[in-house]
Amino acid sequence: MASKASKARRPTISDVARHAGVSTSLVSLVLQGSPLVREPKRAAVDAAIKELGYRPSRAAATLAGGASKTIGLIIDDYRNLWFVELLHGLQAELEQHGYHVTVVDSPGDETPGNGPIDQLLSLRVDGIVVAMDPRDSMLPATWAPTVVAGWRDRIPDGADLVANDDNAGGRLAAGHLLDLGHTRIAHLTGSGGAAAHRRAGFLLRCAEAGLPVRLWGEGHGTSEEDGYQAARALMEHFPDTTAIFAANDIMAVGALAALRERGLQAPRDVSVLGYDNSPLAMSRYLDLSSIDAKSGDVGIGAARALLARMEESSRPLLRTLIQPELAPRGTTAAVSP
């Protein structure tokens, strides 16, 4: 019968060890299925696990040593669904090699000793994929083999890079709007490496066509609210704008809300183009035109780079760019005469 203490909280590996009269290392060996454990000890641990209702965690199972077969993925915002396809690609490739992925977000309010790297190291991860602009605490990539997914402001020392070619994507976005005949074009941008590369490609392509760009949001965030506020201010200053390119899909959703607030519709009044081709863009309700960042392919590439780095830590650093594609839908159209 379980004790009152074990009922009051979730039992730990230490509780199992005390209940079975063995060490925590021996419990870990049992959880790993080690043949080194004698049958009487194994039976005592199994009985303790059953009696206490203990649910072993993968981290606890690896305390005695050996690879955890866990890869950590760090993102900065669960609300922005761009990372969904990245995660699918990452998992699909890693699962073939017996690894699973643990996702940790880093919203920016981390405390010393409790950042995403600390959380992942406590799980004894075998490798880390950074899918956000790294903070200072993430820059010395000495904790574990590391791959950065996506263009970033900074790349940790010793980390490989697998990214969508955001410069090419920005050019592709500009070309799409230019081909539709738009000449009063705006771009909602923001902070971060990906936004900077998308902005650079977009501005360059428009400059080649001899068109100025109405740029808004540089140095600010890239959330839905940021997109809404930027589009709202933009339309106040330039109400004759006929096309908006947003730095990502969630900003584009904010822009659509700002347009609706003014009684405008996409694409009848203003064409709106996002970036990432996220599940938001693909939803039938929004039907949002977007630049496909090939996030699934980035995930697969990041997984392969990480596996190679874990196998040979001294290999040359990898820098891989994956080409984006246009995903035209219902929010962009030829400019009205």
Q: Which CATH number fits domain 166-293: 3.40.50.2300, 3.30.300.280, 3.40.1500.10, 1.10.3720.10?
A: 3.40.50.2300
Burial of 336 (0-12, 13-18, 19+ CB in 10 A): exposed
- Output the pLDDT for position 61: 47
- Output the pLDDT for position 123: 73
73/138 Cα distance (integer angstroms): 13
Which residues in the chain are classed under CATH 3.40.50.2300?
A: 70-164+295-324, 166-293
Q: Please say if the pLDDT value at position 280 is more than 60.
A: yes
Q: Could you tell me where the DSSP H helices lie in the chain? A: 4-8, 13-20, 24-31, 39-52, 58-61, 83-95, 116-122, 166-179, 193-208, 224-237, 249-261, 279-282, 295-311
Q: Please say if the pLDDT value at position 231 is more than 60.
A: yes
- Mean predicted confidence (pLDDT) in 303-325: 91
pLDDT-derived band at 232 (thresholds 50, 70, 90) equals very high
- Output the pLDDT for position 8: 52
Report percent pLDDT > 70 for the chain.
88
- Output the pLDDT for position 34: 67
- Output the pLDDT for position 331: 98
Amino acid symbol at 189:
T
Q: Bigger pLDDT: 287 or 77?
A: 287
- Output the pLDDT for position 141: 54
Which residues in the chain are classed under CATH 1.10.260.40?
A: 4-61
HSE-up of residue 118 (Cα within 13 Å, Cβ side)? 8
pLDDT, averaged across the chain: 87
pTM of the predicted protein model: 0.76
- Mean predicted confidence (pLDDT) in 120-145: 76
**Beta pairing class for 325-327 and 289-292:** antiparallel
Q: Residues with Cβ < 8 Å from 18, sequence gap 6 or more?
A: none
Task: Enter the CATH code of domain 4-61.
Answer: 1.10.260.40
Per-residue model confidence as pLDDT tens digits over 287-311: 999 999 999 999 999 999 999 988 8
Task: Enter the CATH code of domain 70-164+295-324.
Answer: 3.40.50.2300
- Output the pLDDT for position 89: 94
- Mean predicted confidence (pLDDT) in 278-284: 94
Nearest to 308 by CA among 317, 297, 321: 317
